A and B are shown apart, each in its own frame.
Chain A
Amino acid sequence: MSIEIQNISKQFGTFNALSDINLEIPSGELVALLGPSGSGKTTLLRIIAGLERADQGEIRFNGVDTSESHVRERKVGFVFQHYALFKHMTVFDNVAFGLTVRPRSTRPSKAEIREKVIKLLQLVQLEGMAQRYPAQLSGGQRQRIALARALAVEPQVLLLDEPFGALDAQVRAELRRWLRKLHDEIHVTSVFVTHDQEEALEVADRIVVMNKGKIEQAGTPDQVYDHPANPFVLNFLGNVNLFHGRLHQPGGEQHESGEHTVSYVRSHDLEIDRSQLDSTALKAEIKHIQKLGPSVRVTLAVAGSGEMVEAELTRDVFQVLGLQQGEAVFVRPRQVRVFVEDYQI
């Protein structure tokens, strides 16, 4: 089922949560709403679900306006950040809930419900847990049950609110991959909210970057990462260095950073070398070296301007170079971006 979001605005008191949001989500797509806290992404998700009401604008499911339909009529599945499992019911009853509250006329028989629940538990790989209570499950298991419960009513849209936010890193990574696989099998139109750019890049078909109640950019992970529309998107999806002053782009172009232009270079786009390989390289002194597992972050001060920049190197490149704190080296940007508008990060 496709979702059309038209001119949605929402205010909480004097706070503008959403300002004129327009977005189209074709059927079967897995979309990530990515942004910092307060960007409005959860508010937008809840408006789609019907848990909040927009002040202005419309949401259409398959072209049909949903403003008059109540939450329970919208046939959406919602997965909450803190699972919201019914704590006094067994796992089985939790997953079956959506089916058992149906009016008598549309309610499946007990046997049918049982079959469905068991199939869903198998899908989330938790068949043995049917008689346990949520308190007896781990975080990752609870989230999978929450997902099974949402899928039990065969929703046309699946909405997930920071589904892996409350889990530890290892479990989060596993569930991320698992969600992607699930979507590849089931193809339900899905929208999930996250502030983790890695998660969005890994899981989503399309990423919608939001900030302060507006959409900054919407596109595929490649589009958003390699061709950011503005400095905010560039900075949110990776670490970025700002250069004030003249920068030579590889390929001969020269960028002069004046009052209205700032040059941006991603941390991993800065090469470090002991010799000046060409005119694009800048002299700099290594101020600090921070090892971060598989990568190494090197903080340098550019000679002359004194600007602090960060370069990210892989472990093996760093080991080959054998850099030391205090060394004078050259940094060379592999790719430079310039945004002409006066934009603050």
Chain B
Amino acid sequence: MNPFPIQDDLRELAELAGPHGVDLAALGGRIRRRRRTRLAVASGAAMALLATGGWLLPGLLAGGSGGPVGPAGEVTVRPAPSGSSDAALGKLDPEARQVVELLERVLPAGKVSVLGARGLHDKGLASPLGSGLFEPSAAVEYDDGHGEALVDVDLSRWSNPDTTKSPFTCAVGQGEPKPNGCRTVRLPGGGVFNLSRTDALQGAWNAVWTGTYAAPDGARVVIQEDNAPSDKGAAATRPQPPFDFAQLQRMATSPAWKTQLAAIPAAGGQSRDTNTPFGPDGIGAIFYRLIPSGFTTSGYNGAFQPVQGNTMVLTDSRGKGSVYSTELVGAANTPAGLAAFRKDYPNAVRLPNGDWLGSKQVAGQGGPGTEQYWVAVQRGNTRIEVVALNSVGPTGPRTRATPVLTIDQLTMIVESPTWGSGG
């Protein structure tokens, strides 16, 4: 019996939504009005079918309307290719293709169809463990003649692995689900290999086995295999995933990964320190780590908002002040996005590397003497913006003579490569 039938429960729950209640006449009126307005304001803009990147923080802080002034549009995401291996490989960029080729090299003989891949410098969005950069991965459908199976690999580097946790041990932390099976072996040279096994439960989910090789230098290879060609919605094609412990260990510890792993910089590696004050918030953690030394920090907020932003209060001998950061990924490099950036930062300059950098000093909203420093960079389709105040919160009274970080310090933060290279 499935003790926690999420899907069924969600469907039952959804029924509580009731009928849709759409008034077509009223809705049509709204659409026509909006179309007229849009035509009057702009023409030829990118399809605004998807969410507009709103910059409520800047709007509020600057005393503006708070309305969306950011770029509109859709993040360009490369769809996972499918089909024959050769055809799919051809659609991948060279770095992603390298990862697939390495996976194919370590796989035992069998038919391989590429499902997708991410190269060393492909930028994903930040995760709790890193900025989204330097996380090469590949997923394939593998068939050794006994049934198709999903196999995928992730490569990463952990800057400071916690050896009390998986994969170094089979300890299960509080609140963490217990796998059906787990085994860790110490390898010559100091690395470990761990297999964590979740077995199939008929009618609920397929088997998922995860092999992790953690090298002494923090490099990590994770290979995951299913007993089905997809991890969702596909019937099991075989009783168990294709590879046993020894095979997974051999694949994960293969020297074939060496070059890729070596190319993952330690500075861009994943941190075990997900316990920054922002919790599991990649962007918050990045921001936190970029704060110059000499401050004590408090007043953290914005956890679980890894895309949008975070705030905290910095304190030094001259007083305290709030800082904010936001990151918007998506379409910042469209004409509309650039226009919005230059509107927000009339003094914006184009840097030699093609980025745009802007800054401004504006009066605060907290009364006499309050002031705000703003710096933003537009890099590819990513816009990063940081703000420093000489007050706690945008409407608080002045708590120090000048904002807690200088324009130069803010500039160093936004220009940090740890934010990634954009989309």
A, B co-complexed: no
